[in-house]
Structure 1
Amino acid sequence: MTMLKAEATIPTTSGQSYVAAVCARLAEADFETEAAAGRGRIQLVDGLGTGTLEAGADRLHVRLESRTEQGLSVLKFVLSSQIEEVAAAEKPEVVWTGDGCDVDVLPSLRELTVLRVADVTPQVRRITFTGKDLRRFEGDSLHVRLLFPPAGVHPPEWPKPGKNGRPLWPPEERRPVQRVYTMRRIDAAAGEMDIDFVLHAAPGVASDWAASARAGAVIGVMGPGGREMRPAAHVLLAGDETAIPAMARILERLPAQTSGQALIEVENEAEVQDLSHPAGVTLLWLFRRGREPGRNDLLADAVMAAALPDHDDVVCWLGAEEAIARRIRTYWRDEKGLDRARCMAVGYWKHGLTGDEAA
């Protein structure tokens, strides 16, 4: 398979410290990294791409390789972002040369049109979109970034590639609003993607848009992304309604012999969804019944009460309000002794922000 390649050279006398800082930051974000003596290496999951950083006396040289356009685009974005942040005092100009540097459309961007709308529960609306060339969204990645054009901007204006690999956005008054969502279903052959929206009572760009969406409406989508949960013999999944699409995708892909539990917090029985899952995984629905979302102990107590087997082939995953995710992440790592490879707790939203702005 032909490898796609790109590179950039940044004049600097601080290359060694920048290499160390970039690798440390990306390791903290769960990238696979290596760093030693002014040389660093960043590996994308599943071998999709590699970035190599080499510090010289007066420059920092970065080389990228990937099997896919997507992987190369991700590496450009990630490394230029990190270099520009750690070297902010020098205000470096990162300019990539090589493959993918002569395009005027972001490789990750697609335009989607509403095909149909259906209410799954009183609070969850499923919108089916249609679009061209959605193959990149198939696979294990769950999350996408939806772009909602401002009212009155026709046709929509989307971001374009910058020389540093980061998007160049339209002016503020014509710039689409971004929100991260989970793909509930993707069928690239049919050109379809399902996104489930929680319909908030509080105002929010995405939920307000979904509440009034009609066939023919257009939005943009970028991605996919997100660290995935590795397979294991026993799983513990947990989340509130914002995490149900991700939990549903995970449950559908688990091997038939998997055992474990899925703990799902929703308002009441009307919000229960029919989710496919292995026979050995028990679904437990937790009902708030008026308790404030993100400010109750219902989900956290259930997670901490869940028994985990003694063997090492266990993976735990949670998607919920940010403070709850922090609490459970600490519990799993400090009290249960699970390492990063065996537990992931993700803040899907933040209490105190309105509507989907919390996401």
Structure 2
Amino acid sequence: MTIAKAKTTIPLDAPQEMLSQILSHLVDDHGMVFRAKGATGHVFEQDGYRVEFDLRPGKLEVNLQAPGENAMQFSKEGMVHHVAEFDPLLAERIRWQGITQEAGVAPQNFRLLTVLNSEVLFEGMQRVTLHYPDIATLAAQGLHLRLILPRHPSRTPVWPVMGANGAPVWPKGADELHARYVTLKNIRPETEEVDIDVVRHGSGLISQWAQNAIAGQKIGAMGPVGISALPSASSYFLAADGTGLPAVAQLLARLPEGAVGDVVAALPRGVSYRDYLPKTKLRVHALPPAEFETAVLGHAQALTDDGLGYAFFAGEFQNAQQLRGHFKSALGMDKTRQICTAYWRRD
């Protein structure tokens, strides 16, 4: 794995106040777990990523590490956005040492992907196959892909360019872009092809694009990035509605051969989990998609106890909150032993 590093020093009148705000945001809103580094430092490490804060007189020093330059672009962009939550002008003035990219050019992690095929995989799920240049070298950097298309589909795309602060500059007004994360369900590096599975519904721009995609069409993408495997644990509980099914499939494929536990998956009647999920020793409980939101918490309560090693959920916002509360309050699992992520929010 190629390790990429970047560093910035942010001048501040009150660096401790800014650091406290950023840490609270990353812990409370993003579930990141930091450990202390000396008297004034804080470090987060996971899946090849590292975020390190150090207080200095009149400034805050930030060191980033990521599994490759592609992933580093997301890390720098994220840090700029976190600072902007509290001081947008300060975020504009951030400058990075280490990896640098000229302002005004396409982001290093941006690619134009080409549609090869689009088909209904099963009721409620559309599969789009894309040609993905360089996926053979990028696949190890994560499971998630940020797809990008014009908010107004009739517009000719104006793609983002790099800003001097390390974050992309996105077009505004009539050229505004729409970006959403999807999971790479299947990766075929030998042919530079990937499959993405998108839930079919009426209003989402990415869903509409997937249902209407035809061979030869182009779509912008940044990635891949994010989680690539679950940590080693004595047992597992994984649950997902349709939006999270591709992630569960990928994570199951990466578990140790002898892994045990339970999976709760939203699948239409008549669709066998064996046709979608990889072979696993975990017990799979299929729920009809229409029943999943109301039933998943009850299944989690019935199938888990305080001996559970690790939990993963991907789906609707309220479900994510419910399951996170169950794992934390009933089972005493901290953020190092669970990930409950909202892939969408009702209404």
Report the TM-score, using the length of structure 2 for normalisation.
0.87
Q: CA deviation at 1:175?
A: 2.7
1:158–1:169 contact (8 Å) kept in structure 2: yes
Give the Cα separation in 1 of the matches to 2:98 and 2:54: 16
2:68 equivalent in structure 1: 68
Alignment of 1:322-337 (within 5 A): 322-337=317-332
Tell me the SS of whatever aligns to 2:72.
helix
Alpha-carbon separation, structure 1, partners of 2:284 and 2:25: 36
In structure 2, what is the equivalent of residue 357 of structure 1? Answer: none
The counterpart of 1:304, out of the listed 291, 301, 304, is: 301
Following TM superposition, by how much is the alpha carbon of 1:48 offset from its aligned partner in structure 2, in angstroms? 4.0
2:311 pairs with 1:316: yes
State the AA in 2 paired with 1:218: K
Identify which range, 135-144 or 33-42, moves more after superposition.
Answer: 33-42
What is the count of residue pairs matched by the alignment? 343
Q: Distance in 2 between matches of 1:232 and 1:278?
A: 19
Question: Is the contact between residue 237 and residue 318 of structure 1 (CA under 8 Å) also seen in structure 2?
Answer: yes
Report the TM-score, using the length of structure 1 for normalisation. Answer: 0.84
Conserved 8 A contact 1:261-1:282: yes
CA distance in 2: counterparts of 1:3 and 1:305, whole angstroms: 42
Q: Which amino acid counterpart does residue 76 of structure 1 have in structure 2?
A: K
The residue number in structure 1 matching 2:114 is 113
Shift of 1:62: 3.6
* Amino acid in the other structure paired with 1:10: I
Deviation at 1:100, TM superposition (A): 2.2
Distance 1:38 1:105 in 2: 40
**Distance apart, 1:110 and its partner CA:** 1.1
2:169 alignment counterpart: 168
* SS of equivalent to 1:16: helix
Change (3 A) 1:272 1:259: closer
Distance 1:135-1:21 versus aligned 2 partners, 3 A rule: farther
Q: Which moved more, 1:253-262 or 1:219-228?
A: 219-228
Query: What secondary structure is seen at the aligned counterpart in 1 of 2:251?
Result: helix
- 8 Å CA contact 1:255–1:278 kept in 2: the answer is no
Change (3 A) 1:172 1:38: farther
Is the contact made by 2:102 and 2:164 (CA closer than 8 Å) also made in structure 1? no
Query: Matched residues in 1 for 2:12 and 2:211: separation?
Result: 51
How far 1:66 moved relative to its partner? 5.2
**Is contact 1:15–1:38 with CA below 8 Å preserved after alignment?**
no
Cα 1:212/1:330, change in 2 over 3 Å: same
The verdict on how the C-alpha distance between 1:98 and 1:281 changes in structure 2, with shifts beyond 3 A counting, is closer
Q: 2:224 matched to which residue of 1?
A: 224
Question: Secondary structure at 1:210's aligned position in 2?
Answer: helix
1:284-303 alignment, distance < 5 Å: 284-287=285-288, 294=293, 297-303=294-300
Aligned-residue identity in percent: 26
Q: Is the 8 A contact 1:322 1:351 kept in 2?
A: yes
| 1:92-130, Cα deviation, whole Å (9 max, x unpaired) | 621234422336221221110001223210221111100
- Residue by residue over 1:158-217, the C-alpha shift from the partner in whole angstroms, topping out at 9 and shown as x without a partner, is 1111111111012331232111111101233321111001111x2221111111111001
Q: State whether residues 48 and 68 of structure 1, in contact with CA within 8 Å, keep that contact through their aligned partners in structure 2.
A: no
Deviates more, 1:170-179 or 1:159-168: 170-179
Kindly state the Cα deviation for residue 75 of structure 1 after the two structures are TM-superposed: 3.2
Corresponding letter in the other structure for 2:295: L
Matches within 5 A, 1:182-261: 182-200=183-201, 202-227=202-227, 228-261=229-262
Q: CA deviation at 1:339?
A: 1.7
Name structure 2 gaps, 5 residues minimum: none
Q: 1:301 to 1:206 in 2, by over 3 A?
A: same
Closer, same or farther: CA 276–265 of 1 in aligned 2, 3 Å:
closer
Distance 1:258 1:306 in 2: 16
The DSSP-based 3-state class of the residue aligned with 1:148 is: strand
Counterpart secondary structure, 1:138: helix
- In structure 2, the residue matched to 1:345 is 340
Please tell me whether the aligned partners of residues 96 and 164 of structure 1 are also in contact (alpha carbons under 8 angstroms): yes
Residue 154 of structure 2 is matched in structure 1 by: 152
Sort the Cα spacing of 1:61 and 1:340 in 2 relative to 1 into closer, same or farther, 3 A: closer
Give the 3 Å change call, closer, same or farther, for CA 42–101 of structure 1 in structure 2.
Answer: farther
